[in-house]
Structure 1
């Protein structure tokens, strides 16, 4: 885990060295992650909108026929809640009202009566072996959560604290629904307040994500490690967007890998993945890893290059979706 933490700090320093960003760049990055986080966070929970459909809905207000109304509301609500975390970045302390507002913004169009309100009934997490707190326990547990949050935010490693803030909130599950999405927003609020980038959890990694979170009931290390790895990958994405090398040995040398289509698309692994997706639309990361003989992390890098260049997109729910050519 120490090595992953070191990578997080290393790539953060690389990104910080590129600052200050021009206002238009900051705006573009914020919008880039509004789409990315909204799509992935919803897809993990079974939302059927693709990344391109999410983008069109948020940016242009255009809906896709045949999609459930709830999926539309989840997308619009999450985009609003995402915007709110920037409003409270400089807050001296985080309060229960901040958390309730995040949930209200996300959930208001779905179920106004329960938006921003602690649940009054028992709920269960499918697949989990651990019971959740009873409704009458939630106010006290949330007060303790907020006290813990404000007492440890400035004294704990930001990456570790971001993961723990997510884990502890989910284990309380204070709302009737939408707890996972609020937890991921809280986690990213922590990261942004500490100068890190947004943490994206691809829906294709849902199983690993849920499994490590379940293990956190007894050992938080696997979950913290999982989150740290996702932060590293997001940091690498940012460097690629700026045309920077992601090699830890080449420092800040620019090789434009992933930023220059002519360079990135000539990569043998990228071409192999594109051909497979073209021949067999719907393959997921695990399929592509097995077919190419490449590691999962390598395949993820190839996929990011292809997505950046508008060549492919992910369609379907997190559990059974896959990648398709954009012109398919």
Structure 2
């Protein structure tokens, strides 16, 4: 197994190859957007228990067709995530900042079709998350607005000193630990992580449901030591880069 440092060096080398092949054609960009839109929507929702398959998610997003025998809730989650993805994709193309308003808007789009009453709004009550031993560290409802304001303001300066992948990892971890919303925190955190990666030119990172147990465990461990979570996301970034390089047939000889 590669050390974390060696894996990050590999990520840097692969990113240099990807960047050397830019700009991508408009056709490639459009195809990538639709591929990631379906893939991230399916995987992120599946991590939360959504039963739509990848192909069913594609049909719901692209054709607006209802899948027989599947819950309405699952359809609404797919629609919401698709809208949130579109917002994230466009935001990444237009600027390299992240505001508190951006985070709330991501959440709003994501959960609005299913839960409009909580969309884009911080929770009004304290919460208890099953499966974690760190509920005492989660901010109370009264603490959330101030915590989020302070946290969002800190992101710009921290981004200047962290590796782009490390910054994305911290953003994901910390939003989950603040848990500012009544529901949809995990989906919003994964969208936010991908927003920061997209802003820095990295491909969309998908966490497949097949590694759900490991994902939950490393997130839990991250309360005290985020080394396992960091390694986990490094591996997902590596996979995403290699897939992009393979699918677009990127080579060093393509440099402009």
Q: Which structure has the highest helix share of the two?
A: 2
Deviation at 1:86, TM superposition (A): 2.1
1:23 pairs with 2:26: yes
1:203 pairs with 2:209: yes
**Structure-2 residue corresponding to 1:75:** 78
State the distance in 1 between where 2:31 and 2:5 align. Answer: 32
Deviation at 1:93, TM superposition (A): 3.0
Partner deviation per Cα, 1:215-266 (whole Å, 9 max, x = no partner): 111111111111011000011111111235xxxxxx7489xxxxxxxxxxxx
Instruction: Judge conservation of contact 2:38–2:57 (CA < 8 Å) in 1.
Output: yes
State the distance in 2 between where 1:118 and 1:138 align. Answer: 7
Query: Which of the residues 132, 140, 146 maps onto 1:140?
Result: 146
RMSD (Å), alpha carbons: 1.5
**Structure-2 residue corresponding to 1:41:** 44
Identify the range of structure 1 (1-10 vs 170-179) with the bigger mean alpha-carbon deviation: 1-10
**Structure-1 residue corresponding to 2:230:** 224
Partner deviation per Cα, 1:39-83 (whole Å, 9 max, x = no partner): 000000100000000011111111211111111000000000011
**Structure-1 residue corresponding to 2:157:** 151
- Unpaired runs of at least 5, structure 2: none
1:102 pairs with 2:106: yes
**Structure-2 residue corresponding to 1:54:** 57
Deviation at 1:144, TM superposition (A): 1.6
Q: TM-score, with normalisation over the residues of structure 2? A: 0.93
- Unpaired runs of at least 5, structure 1: 245-250, 255-328
**Larger RCO (CA within 8 A; separation ≥ 6):** 2
Deviation at 1:85, TM superposition (A): 1.0
Deviation at 1:92, TM superposition (A): 5.2
Q: TM-score, with normalisation over the residues of structure 1? A: 0.73
Deviation at 1:87, TM superposition (A): 2.5
State the distance in 2 between where 1:125 and 1:12 align. Answer: 37
**Structure-2 residue corresponding to 1:182:** 188
1:4 pairs with 2:34: no
Identify the range of structure 1 (205-214 vs 11-20) with the bigger mean alpha-carbon deviation: 11-20
1:86 pairs with 2:89: yes
Corresponding pairs, count: 248
Query: Which of the residues 122, 129, 136 maps onto 2:133?
Result: 129
Instruction: Judge conservation of contact 2:95–2:199 (CA < 8 Å) in 1.
Output: no
Identify the range of structure 1 (93-102 vs 228-237) with the bigger mean alpha-carbon deviation: 93-102
Which structure has the bigger radius of gyration? 1
SS across alignment from 2:128: coil
Deviation at 1:133, TM superposition (A): 1.5
Over 3 Å counting, the alpha-carbon distance change for 1:86 and 1:179 in structure 2 is same
**Structure-2 residue corresponding to 1:114:** 118
SS across alignment from 2:143: helix
**Structure-2 residue corresponding to 1:236:** 242
